[in-house]
Amino acid sequence: MTVVNPVQAPFDRAICDGLAACGVATVHEAQGRTGLLASHMRPIFAGASIAGPAVTVSVPPADNWMIHVAVEQCRSGDVLVVSPTSPSDAGYFGELLACSLAARGVVGLVIEAGCRDIAALTAMGFPVWSRAVSAQGTVKETLGSVNVPLVCAGQLVRPGDVVVADDDGVVVVPRAHAKLVLRASHEREHRERAVRERLKAGELGLDIYGMRQRLQEKGLIYSTGCRSATEPET
Amino acid sequence: MTVVNPVQAPFDRAICDGLAACGVATVHEAQGRTGLLASHMRPIFAGASIAGPAVTVSVPPADNWMIHVAVEQCRSGDVLVVSPTSPSDAGYFGELLACSLAARGVVGLVIEAGCRDIAALTAMGFPVWSRAVSAQGTVKETLGSVNVPLVCAGQLVRPGDVVVADDDGVVVVPRAHAKLVLRASHEREHRERAVRERLKAGELGLDIYGMRQRLQEKGLIYSTGCRSATEPET
Amino acid sequence: MTVVNPVQAPFDRAICDGLAACGVATVHEAQGRTGLLASHMRPIFAGASIAGPAVTVSVPPADNWMIHVAVEQCRSGDVLVVSPTSPSDAGYFGELLACSLAARGVVGLVIEAGCRDIAALTAMGFPVWSRAVSAQGTVKETLGSVNVPLVCAGQLVRPGDVVVADDDGVVVVPRAHAKLVLRASHEREHRERAVRERLKAGELGLDIYGMRQRLQEKGLIYSTGCRSATEPET
Amino acid sequence: MTVVNPVQAPFDRAICDGLAACGVATVHEAQGRTGLLASHMRPIFAGASIAGPAVTVSVPPADNWMIHVAVEQCRSGDVLVVSPTSPSDAGYFGELLACSLAARGVVGLVIEAGCRDIAALTAMGFPVWSRAVSAQGTVKETLGSVNVPLVCAGQLVRPGDVVVADDDGVVVVPRAHAKLVLRASHEREHRERAVRERLKAGELGLDIYGMRQRLQEKGLIYSTGCRSATEPET
Amino acid sequence: MTVVNPVQAPFDRAICDGLAACGVATVHEAQGRTGLLASHMRPIFAGASIAGPAVTVSVPPADNWMIHVAVEQCRSGDVLVVSPTSPSDAGYFGELLACSLAARGVVGLVIEAGCRDIAALTAMGFPVWSRAVSAQGTVKETLGSVNVPLVCAGQLVRPGDVVVADDDGVVVVPRAHAKLVLRASHEREHRERAVRERLKAGELGLDIYGMRQRLQEKGLIYSTGCRSATEPET
Amino acid sequence: MTVVNPVQAPFDRAICDGLAACGVATVHEAQGRTGLLASHMRPIFAGASIAGPAVTVSVPPADNWMIHVAVEQCRSGDVLVVSPTSPSDAGYFGELLACSLAARGVVGLVIEAGCRDIAALTAMGFPVWSRAVSAQGTVKETLGSVNVPLVCAGQLVRPGDVVVADDDGVVVVPRAHAKLVLRASHEREHRERAVRERLKAGELGLDIYGMRQRLQEKGLIYSTGCRSATEPET
């Protein structure tokens, strides 16, 4: 049951860079509001923004042996995605593994567990999204698998799927959709750019989006009496 | 049941600025330790400090339509306060709505739900206090209400109440009390200033506050034996 | 039952400084992965790194009177460790108490409760590790004890034990072990330094640590088929 | 600031009994989905169902003195509602206080804190809805208030408001609305009764509620292809 | 993006009954410790034990419209599995929907959200595993999908996969594996039956499983000194 | 560092039975409100009540090997106390281990992790207090220690300490204090018995405990005005 599968064929770097530039919120919208990891996945420092194909690692609780195995499978531009088979906040990952990943060009780590050596990782600029910070070490006793489909923070991630992460969280884009999602993200950005300028100039979303009539049809009432409205009901 | 009530009469800007300068902890103390929102309401970036009258928005779960309606009701200096009728961590608020609020002079947002576009909000300096960061989008299907009394993070907030927020959290000051609370806050600051200097000079709180006798009356014992005190009981 | 015990004999400053320089993750490993406080204990700002003998304070819920009592017992280099007898997120500690502790040379606070005045504490550089940020004040009604053994965030801390804290969390080192733990930490750092250079140069942990044979013995399979590996099982 | 206000004028018992019989879910719907306390408020045993006017108690953290004061204010049929001013899971309430309340005819307790003596309370049939079970005792040092408006588990409760509680949780009905809400609850029950029989007979909600056309308008597609539907997207 | 896929071909009832009889813990072990839903999925009453092919429903937050759509797709013996696209504790499901499902022979519901009408569901014996109990109602505004692969409580569930649930939680068995997993479960039960009798007779697991030598090889020490063992390390 | 220490000398059974009869809340009070485990430790079924000397087991995360080792150390009347060195909700314990413990006369288990086979454990009446129910299995790879002092759910438990558990939770009594704590518990029960009868007869705690004067001294005001008291402040 424990296996190391080969990595996917190389993936277009420009698409990844484009998705990272669009950001998690836009990409998530552009693919129909799917693929967002749970909001407990937080960056260890602010300001990082990455995207790349996933090398996935299914690990036993409190055992990081398979991360060492996975390093060898990583290529430049990859994102490592680690998920334990049973919930664990142990500190699976720290500075040494980050040095090894950085040497191979890996752009970041997404792990539904703990991370440590925060100060060193911040200094070297290696970004991690985790559900906990913990110095608790792990053992190297039990095998897991590399490059298998897994569930991380509530989302299915398959090897080679594109993972996008920034200050808003983490979203996974199915590999076969990445190009379309990037196009849809750019269209969304294009539309938003125009709206942004109008909003900054003081125009209202109610007018830009033409919401007033539908609000009226739904029965929204604009009260004119002042006092009664702000008092609790009696 | 869904209604948009008019905003309150304008409110004294100097009082708001004074409360913001005093800060949440002092204001909370000065009004008798009432009005503090639950501690899960955290700022999306450090260092912001605001105060202003509340425009309140009661929203359905995962539906941000009424925030668009509320924008029109906001004036310069207001604080938008949003609370869902059922718990939700969805990302109701992002950069575009922030542009719209900033254009009207709104000083910040307090929302007991999720917020997204953290990097952009940080760059533009628009402060948000939320219970989650989440890129999960919301729909525009169901009405809510604007400028009604609501409960946000465990506290009753009425339209026009003054909301103060900084790195320590969020506190709500009833509109009718704001002037008195500011005065009490200034008195507290004045007293603390004197105490602070004495503490910095090495004087003890035990002496400054005259606590020693009451401690003795309550039965506090200063042990002189050394070893037994630090050993676990056997 | 309420008592103030005298502080321990002075403790070697160089050992504390050495432990702080090694950091929580290394020290925790070096003493056999014991003594780590629960991961909900987070620093109020990033970048602080301290170590010192503990002055412990057992406090009633939402009552910080005994912290005032404890200040007098602190010497330069100490770390104050505060734990309530019943869970509480109230804001026991703020700027004034920090001024008083800083005046005595105390290097930081570890408290399994709330902390406030975050902006001021950050400005003055006084580090705190707490489980909550809350402006909620506390009373001064009920006694507790100073310099008694207590449990803080799941770990036993005895007066005079050495507490080490940084961005990774907090670890407690039994006083009698501190010298040995420092030596073990240095040995660990020494070993890691050599490994770090090899990892940065692109060598794999699999080879440096000689893991390949044991992985094979455990039954790890390197799959060569490509497609089936990434498909869900059917 | 600490005060004991007199209880409200007596309230119609038949209305309370009617609301209890309808149950929390129906009453919550009948008053427009407002007034529901947070779902962490759970009954200490299954099967209880109560309703009555609230006697409210605002208590300091970990201090149950004011509950003793409140007992004297209670009349037969009342529900005691207790909320701490700062979060606390301490065990404010146990068998002795329950004996005292039962002797006065109080029908139950709603407390956003801890409760203890679960076995005894179950044996005597005194129902409690709380957010925790904890044997941790409380002190009697600090005053609070009785019969003031307060926020309990995220909802505003005013003295005399009708509190309804059962296995589904707790809902508060503003006193002035109770008669109307009961009528609306009965109408809802009447409608549901007819629907229930049709559903039990195998008719579909899609047909009973006439949903099919609106689903079609919204764009729902009934796929006929079989295999592709159950495969992950590729 | 919203679609209703047809149900899978009928599935062998005896296999489902067999898996239910084995129970969640055994089935989970028998398929290599995979497929277990997160432990926050709890039954609304004790003692239920079910298994059946999944009809899956992906629902918007706080909107239960698609459950009405899904009812029509259910056949006798099915288990309904509902997961919102964004976290929600709203009460999507209650007595009326249970009447409708029971009329079609559905054996139970697994929902990563809230459930209500607990007393009625208990009385009619319709089992539900949910992450919350909440009377909070939901709307019928937005479409979702029926019979698509989804992630529920951290596990991938595909339409037709066999879901097993009892007091220990919920496990999902891939449809194609169900027969093999049942056989492995029976083998496990067979082995456990023999071991159980020996354990009841007082034999030790250390001997039955032959663990003593491996413990010795790993370095386990049986201390004979008495006092030092029970004292804290000094 | 891994060791199995011998059990303590036998302990007076009558004292344990007496403590179990008094219950957790009374014992906790009688020993000065110390020793209570965190309130997330819940019984797997209602109504159990036990007490006995602790056999402690420090286990690695998700590895239950040492529980098998500990069984051999248990004598009739013991309580097994298990705590992982890193947080884990895995299901360390189920029916087979319970059969083995029951065969040796062990009266129950306290485990700060997960438990499974709930239905079987309930049927055989073997009580467990745990922080989670989870079918997730554990491995047998790494050693831990038996009969060492450990922290469980926030409390220090030493081998031979008396553990008392019931529907209110779990409390630990230092072995050397058990006799005194039982006496204090009986005195408390004696006092409570008299008070209980007076409360049942309708007398008020305010009078029984003589609280009225102290309330007056503290400044409690009994308001006579009716309306203003129940209105929100304006």
Say yes or no: D228 contacts chain A, CB-CB below 8 A.
Answer: no
pLDDT, average across residues B152-178 = 97
- pLDDT tens, C44-84? 999 999 999 999 999 999 999 999 999 999 999 999 999 99
Rounded Cα–Cα distance for residues A214 and A229 (Å): 23
Find, among F86, F98, F154, F104, the residue nearest to F128 by Cα: F98
**What DSSP assignment string belongs to chain F?**
--EEPPPPSP--HHHHHHHHHH-HHHHHHHTTS--BPPTT-EESSTT--EEEEEEEEEE-TTB-HHHHHHHTT--TT-EEEEEESS-B--EEE-HHHHHHHHHTT--EEEEEEEE--HHHHHHHT--EEEEEE-----B--S--EES--EEETTEEE-TT-EEEEETTEEEEE-GGGHHHHHHHHHHHHHHHHHHHHHHHTT--HHHHTT-HHHHHHHT-EE----HHHHSPP-
At A190, is the pLDDT very low, low, confident or very high (cuts 50, 70, 90)? very high
Percent of chain E with pLDDT strictly greater than 90: 89
Partners of residue E61 in chain B, C-beta under 8 Å: 61-62, 88, 90
Say yes or no: A123 contacts chain C, CB-CB below 8 A.
Answer: no
pLDDT, average across residues F106-115 = 98
Say yes or no: F124 contacts chain B, CB-CB below 8 A.
Answer: no
| Shortest Cα–Cα distance, F46 to chain B (Å) | 30
- pLDDT tens, E67-77? 999 999 999 99
pLDDT for position C87: 87
Which of the other chains make 3 or more beta carbon contacts under 8 angstroms with chain D?
Answer: A, B, C, E, F
User: Across the interface, do B86 and E88 touch by the CB < 8 Å criterion?
Assistant: yes
Partners of residue C68 in chain B, C-beta under 8 Å: 204-206, 209, 211
Considering just the CA atoms, what is the radius of gyration of chain B in Å?
22
Residue pair A137/A91 in contact (Cβ under 8 Å)? The answer is yes
pLDDT, average across residues D97-110 = 98
Percent of chain B with pLDDT strictly greater than 70: 95
| Shortest Cα–Cα distance, E41 to chain D (Å) | 15
Check the CA dihedral D127-D132-D135-D138 and report its sign: negative
Measured CA to CA in angstroms, residue D233 lies from A11, D228, E4 at distances of 18, 8, 15
Say yes or no: C47 contacts chain F, CB-CB below 8 A.
Answer: no
Give the number of other Cβ atoms within 10 Å of residue B21's Cβ. Answer: 15
Q: Among E71, E118, E159, whose Cβ lies nearest the Cβ of D204?
A: E71
Give me A90's structure tokens: 């142990």
Say yes or no: E217 contacts chain B, CB-CB below 8 A.
Answer: no
Q: Is the pLDDT of residue A229 over 60?
A: no
- pLDDT tens, A143-188? 999 999 999 999 999 999 999 999 999 999 999 999 999 999 999 9
Q: Among B49, B166, B223, whose Cβ lies nearest the Cβ of C6?
A: B223
Q: Among E176, E233, E234, whose Cβ lies nearest the Cβ of C234?
A: E176
User: Which residue in B2, B63, B92, B112 has the most chain E C-beta atoms within 10 A of its own C-beta, making it the best mutation to test that interface?
Assistant: B63
Rounded Cα–Cα distance for residues D92 and D144 (Å): 14
Which of the other chains make 3 or more beta carbon contacts under 8 angstroms with chain E?
Answer: A, B, C, D, F
pLDDT for position C225: 59
Say yes or no: D116 contacts chain F, CB-CB below 8 A.
Answer: yes
Residue pair D167/E118 in contact (Cβ under 8 Å)? The answer is yes
Partners of residue A173 in chain D, C-beta under 8 Å: none
Element (H, E) at D102: helix D95-103
pLDDT for position A53: 97
Q: Among A87, A136, A139, whose Cβ lies nearest the Cβ of F142?
A: A139
The 10 Å CB-count burial string (b at 16+, else e) for F22-57 is bbbbbbbbbbebbbbbbbebbbbbbebbbbbbbbbb
Q: Among C60, C136, C141, whose Cβ lies nearest the Cβ of D86?
A: C136
Torsion of CA D124, D129, D132, D137, to 10 degrees: -50
Partners of residue A139 in chain F, C-beta under 8 Å: 60, 141-142
Say yes or no: F233 contacts chain B, CB-CB below 8 A.
Answer: yes
Say yes or no: C105 contacts chain F, CB-CB below 8 A.
Answer: no
- pLDDT tens, F14-60? 999 999 999 999 999 999 999 999 999 999 999 999 999 999 999 99
Residue pair F65/D168 in contact (Cβ under 8 Å)? The answer is no
- pLDDT tens, E3-12? 999 988 889 9
At E181, is the pLDDT very low, low, confident or very high (cuts 50, 70, 90)? very high
pLDDT for position F126: 98
pLDDT, average across residues C135-156 = 95
Interchain CB contacts (distance < 8 Å): A and D: 14
Q: Among B46, B202, B222, whose Cβ lies nearest the Cβ of C4?
A: B222
Q: Among A45, A96, A117, whose Cβ lies nearest the Cβ of C168?
A: A117
Q: Report angle CA F155, F158, F164 to the nearest 5 degrees.
A: 65
pLDDT, average across residues B192-202 = 96
| Shortest Cα–Cα distance, F149 to chain E (Å) | 6
Q: Is the pLDDT of residue D144 over 70?
A: yes
Using CA coordinates, name the residue in chain F closest to B149.
Answer: F232
pLDDT for position F233: 33
Using CA coordinates, name the residue in chain E closest to D24.
Answer: E135
Measured CA to CA in angstroms, residue D33 lies from A88, B111, D50, E87, E130 at distances of 38, 20, 19, 19, 21
Using CA coordinates, name the residue in chain A closest to E112.
Answer: A154
Q: Among E88, E134, E139, whose Cβ lies nearest the Cβ of B142?
A: E139
pLDDT for position E232: 39
pLDDT for position E86: 83
- pLDDT tens, E112-140? 999 999 999 999 999 999 999 999 999 99
pLDDT, average across residues F221-227 = 72
Q: Is the pLDDT of residue F229 over 90?
A: no
| In chain B, residues 58-77 whose CB comes closer than 8 Å to chain E | 60-62
Q: Among C32, C38, C151, whose Cβ lies nearest the Cβ of F156?
A: C151
Label the pairing between strands E91-93 and E155-157. Answer: unpaired
Percent of chain C with pLDDT strictly greater than 70: 95
Rounded Cα–Cα distance for residues C114 and B41 (Å): 14
ipTM of predicted assembly, 2 dp: 0.92
pLDDT, average across residues B207-232 = 78
Using CA coordinates, name the residue in chain C closest to D62.
Answer: C61
Say yes or no: B174 contacts chain E, CB-CB below 8 A.
Answer: no
pTM of the model: 0.92
- pLDDT tens, A16-42? 999 999 999 999 999 999 999 999 999
pLDDT for position D225: 59
| In chain E, residues 176-205 whose CB comes closer than 8 Å to chain F | 192, 195-196, 199-202, 204-205
Find, among C89, C91, C52, C104, the residue nearest to B205 by Cα: C104
Interchain CB contacts (distance < 8 Å): C and E: 16
User: Across the interface, do C39 and A114 touch by the CB < 8 Å criterion?
Assistant: yes
Partners of residue C85 in chain D, C-beta under 8 Å: 136
pLDDT for position D19: 98
- Find the distance separating the first CA and the last CA of chain D, reported in whole Å: 65
User: Which residue in C117, C140, C147, C158 has the most chain B C-beta atoms within 10 A of its own C-beta, making it the best mutation to test that interface?
Assistant: C117
Q: Among F2, F89, F118, whose Cβ lies nearest the Cβ of E168?
A: F118
Mean pLDDT for chain C overall: 93
Using CA coordinates, name the residue in chain A closest to B147.
Answer: A230
pLDDT, average across residues A103-108 = 97
Say yes or no: F6 contacts chain B, CB-CB below 8 A.
Answer: no
Rounded Cα–Cα distance for residues A12 and A24 (Å): 19
pLDDT, average across residues B24-37 = 96
Secondary structure of residue E39 in the 3-state scheme: coil
Residue pair B170/B164 in contact (Cβ under 8 Å)? The answer is yes
Using CA coordinates, name the residue in chain D closest to F208.
Answer: D68
Q: Among C156, C177, C233, whose Cβ lies nearest the Cβ of E174?
A: C233
Mean pLDDT for chain D overall: 93
| Shortest Cα–Cα distance, E105 to chain B (Å) | 32
Say yes or no: E94 contacts chain D, CB-CB below 8 A.
Answer: yes
Interchain CB contacts (distance < 8 Å): C and F: 21
Say yes or no: C214 contacts chain F, CB-CB below 8 A.
Answer: no
pLDDT, average across residues A122-146 = 96
